[in-house]
Amino acid sequence: MKTIIIGGSTTGMGVAAKLKRLDEKHEIIVIQDKEYVSLGACGIPYYVGRNFDNPETLIARKVENFEETGIRVLTKKSAHKIDFKNKVINFEDENISYDNLVIAVGAKPITPPIKNIDANNIFTVNSKEDAIVIINAITDQSKVLVIGSGLIGLEMVENIKHATKANIAIIEKADRVLKNLFDEEFSKLVEEEIKNKNIDLYKENEIVEFIKDANNNVCGAKTIKSEIINCDIVILSIGVLPNTKFLKNTELELENNGAIKINEYCETNIPNVYAGGDCCSSLSYLYKNNRTFYLATVANKQAKIIANNINKTKTSKFVGALGTTIIRFFDLELARSGENKMFIETNKIETKEILIKDKDHTNYVKDQTDLWLKIIMDIETKEIINVQMIGKNKSVLRIYGLVGIIWARTKVDEALEQIDLPYSPPFSRTTDIIHIALSKLI
């Protein structure tokens, strides 16, 4: 049996490693466009924040480590053309045949067609190379403009601020930050933190043109409201899209956003062709709709499922994801899970929601701080379909318990209200914020 994997990172190398463990004799070839594999992209902002000095730390496992186990890795080789009928990948210099194919090409940052976007010092945040050029470009004197206030944009802001004295501004098209993930009350608290850190925030605004100097370096950005924001570094973090341009107009079924359609076994519409991770649309856990999650947690699980199913057809199913996310933004910590407001409203799901502001632990133990929790319940099923938290002192780690409740589809009733949560003065109060919220929901 011979399996070819296109894309050598979380999903691709996850499939390769697991498949080799399951069947030592399985011939595995990975085609990877970079010279390295297994990039831990999640670490990029923290490298820029100088949490560690060596960018190689971003690489979880080296090409040699995989090759030692008998996996062949073809680096700096990009797959552009697949002959699905004859099960062959065509390169200019050679053709490679396969029995099974895994497409794990991930997603790439959106670079909008803004005038002068090709100027120097306009960066995306996606690869080891991006991380290195960003860290080398930013100095204490830099004027950094971060475009987009999603998770990656905010992580970059926090880390640049920690590591340098650079001046930072954020521009966001929506009317508030983190709009896709959190409700208004939470965005407001994050925006207060942005202000406290002396970071300028432009909302309901967008860049229409970059201004560059005689050396082709960016020196400003013009907004749709005709303001000029002075900047010499731009971080583009307005989202990503599946890296599937080369698969358009082939037999492979894609969603409108270019994501590969897969079933619960991570099979595509073409026999023996599997796909997983950021290049796919995947099942949401609660309402079984399809969406692209762009999360390492999803890619990781799908890698195992693909390997299992290649080894023995249809043995593992992907049961869905909740889009559970956690982020630190300076002193604030935020966590969320489940369907967002846009989904709830579009699908006209009747809900009851409760927002509680409480304290994270007892008043007589130092560092007591505010903790916010929102729970949204589907009135028909009595199941929790969304939770959001913001706090400090790692108090939002309560999300782990809440995700367990959602995952088990536990009904919100008197029994759940008595859920046996722990109490000790440095951690919580006798009646925890979760108890208060559940009580109010009932």
The contact set with ligand FAD (CB under 6 A) reads: 6-12, 31-34, 41-42, 44-45, 78-79, 104-107, 125-126, 152, 243, 246, 277-279, 294-297, 299
In the block, residue with structure tokens 């194919």: 101
Cα gap 132→115, rounded to integer Å: 25
DSSP secondary structure, 352-393, as one string: EEEEEEEESS-TTSSS--EEEEEEEEETTTTEEEEEEEEEST
Cα gap 14→35, rounded to integer Å: 17
Contacts of residues 368-374 at CB distance under 8 Å and 24 or more positions apart, as own/partner, are: 369/393, 369/395, 371/395, 371/396, 371/433, 372/185, 372/186, 372/189, 373/398, 373/433, 373/434, 373/437, 374/183, 374/185, 374/186
Nearer to ligand FAD, 79 or 371 (CB): 79
Nearer to ligand FAD, 106 or 148 (CB): 106
CB of 246 to ligand FAD, least distance (A): 6
CB of 180 to ligand FAD, least distance (A): 15
The DSSP letter of residue 113 is -
Sheet holding 88-90, edge to edge: 81-83, 88-90, 95-97
Which residues, 6 or more positions from 138, have their beta carbon under 8 angstroms from its beta carbon?
Answer: 48, 144, 160, 163, 164, 166, 233
CB of 231 to ligand FAD, least distance (A): 20
- Of 355, 399, 357, 405, residue with least CA distance to 382: 405
Nearer to ligand FAD, 194 or 299 (CB): 299
Amino acid, single-letter form, for residue 313: T
- Of 163, 171, 164, residue with least CA distance to 231: 171
CB of 427 to ligand FAD, least distance (A): 25
CB of 409 to ligand FAD, least distance (A): 23
Nearer to ligand FAD, 6 or 377 (CB): 6
Nearer to ligand FAD, 105 or 199 (CB): 105
CB of 60 to ligand FAD, least distance (A): 11
Backbone φ and ψ for 363, nearest 5 degrees, come out as: -70, -25
Nearer to ligand FAD, 125 or 231 (CB): 125
Cα gap 4→55, rounded to integer Å: 28
The CB density around residue 370, as the number of other CB atoms within 10 Å, is 13
Both tokens of residue 79? 């797959």
Nearer to ligand FAD, 32 or 167 (CB): 32
Nearer to ligand FAD, 107 or 433 (CB): 107
CB of 19 to ligand FAD, least distance (A): 15
CB of 82 to ligand FAD, least distance (A): 10
Residues facing 374 on adjacent strands: 355, 388
CB of 301 to ligand FAD, least distance (A): 11
Nearer to ligand FAD, 42 or 436 (CB): 42
